[in-house]
Amino acid sequence: MIQLGRIDHVVLRAIDIDGMQQFYCDVLGCHVERRQDEIGLVQLRAGESLIDLVSVDGKLGCRGGAAPGSTGHNMDHLCLTVVDYDEAVILAYLNAHGVRVGEPGLRYGAQGEGPSIYLHDPQGNMIELKRPPHAVA
């Protein structure tokens, strides 16, 4: 039997890899862990996981077909747990950065039901920021 742990990485195909890197680093607090410009790949550290950004016109990205856009995405959403989750602080921060935010709510995830907020990155990919159910608000 296979026993899964946590998300290792998610790969997002990007039209504007620099804009995506700026969003994930400057707004969500990731940092560049590794670059492979020859194949169009930037790997961002997101806590214990990685978010790989692949340029749609790079060696890897061109294999994936049409670029993401308003009528189609390469992923439904990415859920990231947030340490010291404070909904009001998170919403104020995202709004200050002009991020398109959805309705906060209680949603079920890998660690059970807990509060979360949906938002969108610059290319329309949906991201869920989630607090584990056992964390103190």
Q: What is the pLDDT of residues 73-105, one digit of tens each?
A: 788 789 998 888 999 999 999 999 999 999 899
pLDDT at 48: 87
Distance CA 26, CA 106 (A): 27
Distance CA 72, CA 135 (A): 35
Domain at 6-62, CATH homologous superfamily: 2,3-Dihydroxybiphenyl 1,2-Dioxygenase, domain 1 (3.10.180.10)
Helix (H) or strand (E) holding 49: strand 49-55
Q: How confident is the model at residue 1 (pLDDT cuts 50, 70, 90)?
A: confident
On the question of pLDDT at 136 being above 60, the answer is no
Point out which residues pair with 79 in neighbouring strands. Answer: 128
Q: Model confidence over 32-58: pLDDT tens digits?
A: 999 999 999 999 999 889 999 999 888
On the question of pLDDT at 137 being above 70, the answer is no
Give me the helices (H) in the chain, please: 17-22, 87-96
75-137 sits in which CATH class?
A: alpha beta
Residues carrying CATH 3.10.180.10, the chain? 6-62, 75-137
On the question of pLDDT at 118 being above 70, the answer is yes
pLDDT at 2: 52
- Contact in structure between 116 and 107 (CB atoms under 8 Å): yes
DSSP 107: E
On the question of pLDDT at 68 being above 80, the answer is no
On the question of pLDDT at 135 being above 60, the answer is no
77-106 exposure pattern, b = at least 16 Cβ within 10 A, e = fewer: ebbbbbeebeeeebbeebeeeebebeeeee
Distance CA 56, CA 51 (A): 15
pTM: 0.79
Q: Model confidence over 7-36: pLDDT tens digits?
A: 889 989 899 999 999 999 999 999 999 999
Distance CA 96, CA 85 (A): 17
